[in-house]
Structure 1
Amino acid sequence: MVKKKNPSAAASSTSGGRRQIFLDSSEGGRPKRSSPSSGAAGATKLSSQARRLDSDLRGVISSLEAFASQFTSLEADKVRLQEEVKSSSSKLDGAIKKAAIARQEVDSLKEELNKLKERLKEEEARAAKRMNSFVNLLWLYLVKQEKTLGQLIDAFAVDTKEVIEVFPVPSFVDDSSGVLPEGLLSIANTTGDLEALYPKVLLPDNIIVDRLEEDSKVPEERGTPQG
């Protein structure tokens, strides 16, 4: 069985020694033989196209290799950055925890400081109260001492003129205890009669005076002093 060929389709092509046959529709589909020169030109064209394609393919392969290398480097950088981010995040979490602990310690110290300030104020208030009480007691003591001193001054007050006029007789008074004031002792030694000072002076118990108790009981029996 023989198949009919389409007049408009190309039949075949050859390179080298083979012939190339084309169908020409204008000539009723009869085959047209190509010349050897046209076949060599076609082979040269195909060879140049193959070389160009091979060069382009090598360029594409080189580009793919460079892209693969860059992609691998980028992946390594990505992993390294992820590790750094993880480490930085861990450090940041640690710093945040430390800051929180430090904040709690600061708050605790502030609370302790406020408590100490309150205690200091209370201690100052108590100290001021004690000082005021001490000052008041001291003032009362001084007032009492001043009153007692005034009473002693009034008790030991001696009118020297009257003593000299009433007791002109010189004598000696034994004051071995040393508690009698020098002024009164001098007056007593000058006048010669210490008992006459008794209405004016409160004599201590340890002063030695002869016949003081007897004469004080009977003052009217005492002799008149000599002028």
Structure 2
Amino acid sequence: YDVTKRLWEEYPGSSVVAVGPAGERLVKFSLALVDNVATLGRGGLGAVFGSKNLKAVVVRGSGEVRVADAERFMDAVKGLYERIERYPFRSFVTEYGMMAGWAAWAEMFQIPREEAEAYFNQEVFSGKVRVATIACPSCPLSDKFLFRIPGEEVEVWATDYLTPLTVFGYLFQITDYRDILRITATVNQYGLDMLSLSNLVNFILGMYGEGAITREDLGG
């Protein structure tokens, strides 16, 4: 987060790909964050950056991309934009991002409606924690978010809320959105892949519960 913001200040109008401490330490499931809100490289791109002592890449374009037939290309782009504009759930996706699929996800895993509602409250999401929606360049669907926890300085840039809600919230039975966002902010600051990390933590908890490892094995 911090490095990207500093580079934005130094190079206005730029795009930044940066890694966190996990990448610097060559963690195998470290990744890179693009402009703090999109991710690259679940397979360890962060560690590749770290192995080359590369903290970030800054890009600021000044030219244009030429295509062979600009008119046909723009006709195709216009057609796609019009299809997206007509998409009946466009406003819902823009409002909630991937959380638009939460009800379907909960139904697929046979989560009772009352339990699903305990994990996600639309009014709290839209009215209290979501500060802004963010779109990738040229994308008409702004499905990424900037969150802030009321009364705290915690700032969370997120590709989506569905992933942390499922891999941290539902998996570990954490229903408080503030705790989920705090975990998300910490994981992003370190530059770790959420899916791999949550699976690792779940495995460790299982081993601990079976007595295969002790508190001392985990550093006290």
Task: Answer whether TM exceeds 0.5 for this pair.
Answer: no
Greater per-residue helix proportion: 1
**Structure 2 length-normalised TM:** 0.17
Kindly name which structure, 1 or 2, has the bigger radius of gyration based on alpha carbons: 1
Greater per-residue strand proportion: 2
Higher relative contact order (CA 8 A, sep 6+): 2
**Structure 1 length-normalised TM:** 0.17
